[in-house]
Amino acid sequence: MAYRVHTVVPMAVDTRTDRRPSSYAGILWHSTVGKKTAMAVSGIVMLLYLVAHMLGNLKIFFGAAEFDGYAHWLRTIGEPFLHHEWFLWIARVVLLAAVVVHAVAAYQLSRRDIAARPQKYVHKKPRASYATRTMRWGGIILGLFIVWHILDLTTLTVNPRAEAGHPYANVVATFSTWYGNVIYIVAMLALGLHIRHGFWSAAQTLGANRPGRDRTLKAIANLLALVLTLGFIAVPVSVMTGVVS
Partner 1 sequence: MNLTLRIWRQSGPDSAGRMTEYDVRDISPEMSFLEMLDTLNEELILRGEEPVAFDHDCREGICGACGMVINGEAHGPERTTTCQLHMRHFDDGDTIDIEPWRASAFPVVKDLVVDRTAFDRIIGSGGYITAPTGSAPEAHATPVPKPAADTAFEHAECIGCGACVAACPNGSAMLFTSAKVVHLNSLPQGAPERESRVLDMVGQMDDEGFGGCTNTGECATACPKGIPLFSITKMNREFVRAARKA
Kindly list the residues in this chain that would bind ligand HEM in the complex (CB under 6 A): 36, 39-40, 43-44, 46-47, 50, 99, 102-103, 106, 110, 132, 135-136, 139-140, 142-143, 194-195, 198-199, 201-202, 205
Closest CA to 93 of 141, 23, 143, 45: 45
Query: Quick one: how far is CA 108 from the chain centroid?
Result: 17
99: burial class by Cβ within 10 Å (0-12, 13-18, 19+)?
middle
Question: How many C-beta neighbours within 10 Å does residue 52 have?
Answer: 10
Smallest distance, ligand HEM to C-beta of residue 47, A = 4
| 45 touches, from partner 1, ligand HEM, none (C-beta below 5 to 8 Å by class) | none
Q: How far apart are CA 88 and CA 72, in angstroms?
A: 11
State yes or no: residue 102 binds partner 1 (CB under 8 A). no
C-beta closer to partner 1: residue 5 or 65: 5
Contact status: 164 vs partner 1 (CB under 8 A): no
* Per-residue b or e along 128-138, where b marks 16 or more CB atoms closer than 10 Å to that residue's CB: eeebeebbeeb
Q: Estimate the share of the chain in helix, then strand, then coil, as percent rounded to the nearest 5.
A: 70, 0, 30
Q: Which does 46 bind (CB under 5 to 8 A by kind): ligand HEM, partner 1, none?
A: ligand HEM
Q: Is 128 in the site for partner 1 (CB under 8 A)?
A: yes
What minimum distance in Å lies between the beta carbon of 74 and ligand HEM?
19
Positions touching partner 1 (CB under 8 A) are: 1-4, 6, 9-12, 14-17, 19-20, 22, 24, 27-28, 31-37, 109, 112-125, 127-128, 132, 135, 197, 200-201, 204-211
